Amino acid sequence: MFRVIITMWSGDHRKAPRVTKTRLVPNSGQSCATSTSCSCVTLHWRQRVTSGPITICPEAIIFRKSQATVDTGLIQSAAMLSSTGQLFLYTTTKWLHMSVDCDNLLTNPDVLWKLISENKTIVAPMLESRAAYSNFWCGMSSQGYYKRTPTYIPIRRWERRGCFAVPMVHSTFLVDLRKEASRQLAFYPLHPDYSWAFDDIIIFSFSARMAGVQMFLCNRENYGYLPIPVRSHNSLRDEADSFVHSLLEVMVHHPPVEPSSFISVPPKSPDKMGFNEVFMINLQRRSDRRQRMLQSLHEQEITCKLINAVDGNALNASQIQSMGIQMLPGYSDPYNGRPLTKGELGCFLSHYNVWKEIAEHKLKTSLVIEDDLRFEVFFKRRLQNLMNEVESHGLDWDLIYVGRKRMQVDHPEKSVPKIHSLVEADYSYWTLGYMISLRGARKLLKADPLSRMLPVDEFLPVMYDKHPISRYMEHFQTRDLKAFSAEPLLVFPTHYTGDQGYVSDTETSTLWDNEGVPTDWDRSPSGKTSEQQELSQEAQNSNVVQSPLDSTAHDEL
């Protein structure tokens, strides 16, 4: 089963293709009307040039006869590419050829018009992935293979923007058939001088070189996403999960990508991943975050209980006093020197309410996540594997971070023997996501934190006796929380300080006891919500044994 998500046009670029029906086509490429062995989609183009329908399927690509001229060489190329196991979609008219791998997600509605306006024979939009991988090369070896160059990363990270001449584009690209040189481009038959590996993208790059056609890569805007190719030893499930992760990445900055109503997809069966409950904390006024998180969890087949966060900005002085809340004497923000904000107060109360529910309902294990995180690839399976190892080895634990900002960066953290991807947590920021046991919740509640409150991500290190400021810890006599952290982490923030779209509900607020003092710290960089600094070689947790799935997750190819 595959999903086709694509924006294409032909003739008039302002008009999108119209899906009129779905049919079934056999692997042998027989008539669509008589067989039932695989899926395909029949498209009709609303265009000025008269053309018949184009039938597209995984194993055979059939161009029906029409008044429009069809380049037979491209048909042969398409058939060859489809045999690789991927689905390639084409629109072929007298002047346009667009190739898009079926797992590429185009999010910019003007992508084709932008590419056409570049006036290049071969041009590709740069696509994002979870790592450095993209759909272009900046260097090629004498045998036609990928070659690392110093020019690649600045382009991939948008440190340089423009349209760049490169030796290779693949996965998604446009060919302008109006250009005379395009007639010499072909995937098949091979060029007489071709002696490199039988690989479709290398073959096409060689064809372009021999035709004197320069390939171009454009990164003027954000155009879309693609998954990182899995290794040969990885399973089909790995590949499917990698594609799902691309869908999640799209939702960080764009609306969700929905499957076509003409394509059937198997129903999802969300579960709690073995936890007694999965709590997702969200402010009611942050409906955009709520919808993104619910959709992201659903894509991963995870169900959750929505917890309405306490809006600290809505609390007045009498309400705060009635709850017995007092700030920890002497507390000040380590970056700005300010006291607690109402946003931080609301954040603490939100987590505190979750701990109370865990204790009241005697939930043995729970997962707590906030609404401003992004998931790492294979999140669900990696988390389940970690919990299975924790249980099978009988680890004595109260809290396990799945997302955090490590603040102790002088030396590595201690790895946990016999358990993959787990360390003993040192001083850390953020409460993006963590697993918590019933005993852990009871310990946090017993500490009576409301009478000596500090931000929740400062309170937790105090409770596991790792806070660097001893005067904070002196107010809590019992500090025996057994805290660990996934390594590598499984979730990260969607945005950091200074990123476009960054909004903090904890730092942009007012002081907890003085509504007349604003704390709009977002207008100047905040160290607390900035990205994790790069760790020195000596401080990295390199002694942690990673599971095969964790290793796959960090393949950058």
Q: 3-state SS of 404-451?
A: EEECCCCCCCCECCCCCCEEECCCEEEEEEEEEEHHHHHHHHHCCHHH
SS3 for 18?
strand
CA distance 484 to 177: 58
> Around Cβ 192, how many Cβ atoms within 10 Å?
7
pLDDT number for residue 65 = 27
| CB neighbour class for 223 (10 Å; exposed up to 12, middle 13-18, buried from 19) | buried
Amino acid identity of residue 269, one-letter, is S
Q: What is the pLDDT of residue 502?
A: 44
C-alpha span between 385 and 393 (Å, rounded): 12
CA distances (Å), origin 69, targets 8, 12, 179, 289: 19, 17, 16, 48
Give residue-wise pLDDT tens across range 231-267.
888 999 999 999 999 999 999 999 999 888 888 889 9
Looking at residue 497, what is its pLDDT? 55
Measuring CA to CA, which residue among 108, 234, 218, 222 is closest to residue 165?
218
Token pair in block for residue 268: 């999802």
Identify the segments of the chain with pLDDT beneath 50.
1-93, 502, 507, 512, 519-525, 557
Q: Tokens standing for 409?
A: 């960066």
Cα–chain center distance at 363:
30
In sequence order, which residues have a C-beta less than 8 Å from that of residue 379 and are 6 or more positions away? 245, 300, 490, 491
At 35 the pLDDT is 33
Q: Measured between alpha carbons, how far is residue 24 from residues 79, 81, 267, 403 in Å?
A: 17, 20, 21, 45
Q: What 3-state class would DSSP assign to 485?
A: strand
Q: What is the pTM of this model?
A: 0.80
Hey, what domains does the chain have and what are their CATH numbers?
A: 18-225 (no CATH), 273-553 (3.90.550)
Nearest-5° angle of CA 354, CA 355, CA 357? 65
Instruction: For 259-290, give one letter per residue: b (16+ CB within 10 A) or e.
Output: eeeeeeeeeeeeeebebebbbbbbbeebeebb
Q: Do strands 305-308 and 215-218 pair parallel, antiparallel, or not at all (unpaired)? A: unpaired
CA angle 368, 529, 430 (to 5 degrees): 25
Neighbours of 146 (CB within 10 A): 15
Beta strands in 211-342 (DSSP E): 215-218, 224-225, 277-282, 305-308
Beta strands in 219-292 (DSSP E): 224-225, 277-282
Q: Residue 399 corresponds to which tokens in the numbers above? A: 């809290």
Q: What does each C-alpha distance from 4 to 98, 105, 175, 210 come to in angstroms?
A: 14, 9, 20, 33
